[in-house]
A and B are shown apart, each in its own frame.
Chain A
Amino acid sequence: MSAAVSTDGRETGTALDIRGLTTTYGAVRALDDVSFAVPSGRITAVLGANGAGKTTLLRTISGLVPATSGTVALGSHDLSRTPAERMPGLGLAHVPEGRGVITEMTVEENLRLGGLGRRTGTEPVPLERVFDLFQVLGERRHGVAHQLSGGERQMLVIGRALMASPTVLLLDEPSLGLAPRIVAQILDLLGGLARDEGLTVLLVEQNARSALSVADRGVVLSLGRVVADESAATLAGDDQLRHAYLGF
């Protein structure tokens, strides 16, 4: 495992090692030879314009889309050859774009479902832990999920992912359609989980400014290729890159 150095100077291992990952849809190369390392216990933001391949990257890592070539190493496992349904058992949780609440089920059933696929060898996470993080979910535990607001749904899917005791969390556009205050709350929570519990987060965001405010590293994709892989501070300070790819 290669070592990476984060902004605060702490040494850290590599949670996900992505090498030469290529995904094609027909003739279109959605991911083109993507390589970078995701440091463990840190938040890594994946940035880029619409269509840059951010969502495809997450879907390829978690096995929803087959990789054409390349590898994704999680410990000794090559995820590019692992079916999606085995990912939670290996400690990888993916919260998809559009949130993925199962709206026909109750809040509690959604959470229970998350716990069923928990990482191999871990103890069940009590529901109360999620209710401690997100009080509103506890108040509505028996309500059907389609009655939840957008922010509550985002809390539910993050809580559901945590029920599986993951080591790596892939998060796709958590800020989509949410009020800035709620976005800040959620990003804050992620920062806390990374800092205090060593959770590795790979965060795909359209909103580069707020993503870089919590992330340790930033990877910029453009047309399926990695154009920058820097510490978050460096990225935020690079005016040229910011203007060209991040739009702020």
Chain B
Amino acid sequence: MQQLLSTTLTGLTLGMVYAAFALALVLIWRSTRIVNFAQAPMAMVTTLVALQVIDAGAPYWVGFLVALVSGLVLGAVVERVLVRPVEGKAEINAVILTLGLFIVLHAVAGLVFGNDYQSFPAPFGLSGFRVGDLNVALTGFGIFTIVIVLVVMAALAALFRFTDLGLRMRAAAFNPEVSRLLGVPVGRMLTIGWALAAVVGSLAGLLIAGGSLVYPSYMDSVVVFGFVAAVLGGLDSPVGAVVGGLLLGLALSYVSGYLGAQLVTLASLVILMLVLTLRPGGLFSSASARRV
């Protein structure tokens, strides 16, 4: 009972982070039909930048903000400079491009920040609290994680639903040509989309890092989890990504708790294979026969 509760709570917290990361992948996939595998090292770089700022004596929240802002800039620059030329080309080009960027960002991080494990602070407590006899594994930082991811999701939903910018961004993603005819600067919308996605990715990076160790490859497995979560939800649906993230977080937490922590990534591969074989359109697709 104790373990089941802890495992579930840990799974929910992690699931929120995977959901955020999956959401970042889905935002980019919807607008440019590219899975940004470089999302992981992008988030890693911004988190390490934040760590520099914090180590230099700035408060945690300044570092937090710096990470998000540098994510915004990095996302915009990557789209405008690197991704724009491959948009609409053979999809293998875009995949290789994001992997090239993956390698470069890893190398840059190693060069600038070193390959050592460094501990990253957390703004809230890292121990659970007690209710009667039960140790509840929900930490202060865990609550913060859940709340901030919910807030970000609500903000994104509001942006897309209620603002003119959101309307233009959705239009540019759904139908670029018609959008141009309606006066939407499609290129600019894609840049903004990548920038926003990178901010959400950076947030996920900060949440994974909080109270734990960071090093150049600390996000590599998260991009796998984010991808699997996004595919669970159908890769096209932001809501699906969130639900997929939560489900995956729970599933992997049980695998980690009952089978072994080292098998988590492989378990995510098994889940991915099952989904793609049984319901290629994602768990919530009405037509399971969609070609992927």
Contact = CB atoms under 8 A, between A and B. Distances in A.
Direct contact of A and B (CB under 8 A): yes
A88 B171 contact: no
B45 interface: no
B56 to A, nearest CB: 43
A85 B186 contact: yes
Given A112-B167, A116-B167, A116-B168, A100 B183 contact: no
Contacts of A93: 181
B135 interface: no
Contacts of B186: 85
Contacts of B179: 85, 102, 113
Contacts of B1: none
A113 B171 contact: yes
A100 B175 contact: yes
A84 interface: yes
B170 A105 contact: yes
Interface string B144-184: 00000000000000000000100110110011011111111
Nearest to A117: B183
From B167, B171, B174, B178, residue with most partner A Cβ within 10 Å: B178
Interface residues of B, number: 17
Contact of A87 (B168, B178, B183): B183
B174 A102 contact: yes
Chain B contact surface mostly? helix
Contact of A104 (B168, B174, B184, B185): B174
Interface string B73-96: 000000000000000000000000
Nearest to A160: B182
Contacts of B170: 104-105
A84 B175 CA distance: 14
B182 A164 contact: yes
A18 B35 CA distance: 43
B178 A102 contact: yes
Contact of B181 (A84, A103, A112): A84
A100 B171 contact: no
Given A102-B171, A116-B168, A64 B182 contact: no
B175 A102 contact: yes
Interface in A84-141: 84-89, 93-94, 96, 100, 102-105, 109, 112-114, 116-118
Contact of B184 (A85, A100, A160): A85
B138 to A, nearest CB: 37
Interface of A: 62, 64, 83-89, 93-94, 96, 100, 102-105, 109, 112-114, 116-118, 160, 164
23 contacts: A64-B181, A83-B180, A84-B180, A84-B181, A88-B181, A93-B181, A94-B181, A96-B177, A100-B177, A100-B178, A100-B181, A102-B175, A103-B174, A104-B174, A105-B171, A112-B164, A113-B171, A113-B179, A113-B184, A116-B164, A116-B167, A116-B184, A117-B183
Interface of B: 164, 167-168, 170-171, 174-175, 177-186
Given A85-B181, A116-B164, 4 more contacts: A85-B183, A93-B181, A102-B174, A112-B167
